[in-house]
Amino acid sequence: MKSIVRGGGLMAGAILLLAGCGSVDGKGEGRPAASPTPAPIAAGVSDTPVKVGDPYTIGSTTYTPADVADYDDVGYASWYGEELAGQPTANGEAFDPAAISAAHKTLPLPSYVEVTALDTGRTILVRVNDRGPMANDRLIDLSRGAAEQLGLAAGVAAVRVRRTNPPLAERVQLRNGKPVPERIATPDSLLAILRNKLKALPVPANAPAAAVTSQPAAPVASAPAKPGDDRLAVEGARPAAKPAAKPAPAKPAPAAKPAQITTGGIYVQVASFSSKARADTTAKLVGGTVSAAGKLWRVRMGPFDKEADGNAALARAKAKGFRDAKIIRERK
């Protein structure tokens, strides 16, 4: 997966240094020289003082940072990784690709936001400590660690960004570079609203189509169909209809075989949750089932009798963002 590098910079006192935009394959262009001795990664990280900053201009666009407590918007997220490891962020911290952090054009530094992937409904808590991305069609730039936790596989993905005020324990966890548990998955009804709101925005060239459109409803058959029924009729001469043949004598229907009961087989272990509500939402998303496993709720797909069917289900689960999904086998 190729990263889309954000703009970033060092804000010290009244000086605001900003990174250039238009990077390709992790190679930043026009970035100012970094501080010669940046602070060690995740060392001395604090939530104070909170910095808002003065308006700044990149190209022909001027951005005005503001302390908006109820910030809530949809757009596209990109992500960046090792190419800027250890370099200073806009509030003077050292960038850690594995930490759950992000860059935003206008939010105070630091800020805490919930980021929701609009294709899966998964939501994580992220700490904003940098300025960017300077590509105008991006709303937020996630660190590699944040992108992995959210399950973003593409370079650009549709997201919702909502500012929040998390508990102190979660703030400490993120300041130490460690993720906090995911939020409850966003229900389908709200996802549909957010996806419709996203349609008003221009779509980045490399954004996956599935990220910006609601999933269509499953087709409903109105009558029994057979191969060829979906072809278009062609106007013109048609051969004369043949006279109807006499029906053949009816044959007695063969006796139905007793249904085979499946007692085991191949399953896809999708994920386990401490909340049954989250497990139910995930099961609905992947077409699986929920079962209790001690103090956890387990989501599985299956059982499948064929290896190919199990592998296909595994691919669907991973496409929905559940990278840790795996095949398990139980004896029949």
What is the DSSP code (8-state) at residue 268?
E
C-beta atoms surrounding 80 within 10 Å: 28
Among 17-31, 53-67, 314-328, name the most confident range. Answer: 53-67
CA distance 308 to 313: 9
Half-sphere exposure for 287 (CA within 13 Å, toward CB): 12
- 4 Cβ neighbours under 8 A, 6+ residues apart: 23, 78, 79, 80, 133, 135, 138, 141, 155, 156
Query: What superfamily would CATH give domain 265-330?
Result: Sporulation related repeat (3.30.70.1070)
11-211: what CATH class?
mainly beta
Summarised one tens digit per residue, pLDDT across range 122-172 is 999 999 999 998 777 899 999 999 999 999 877 789 999 999 999 999 999
CA distance 272 to 279: 7
pTM of the predicted structure, to 2 decimals: 0.55
* Domain ranges within the chain, ordered by starting residue: 11-211, 265-330
What is the DSSP code (8-state) at residue 27?
B
Strands 101-103 and 123-130 come out as parallel
pLDDT at 248 over 70: no
Confidence of residue 226 (pLDDT cuts 50, 70, 90): very low
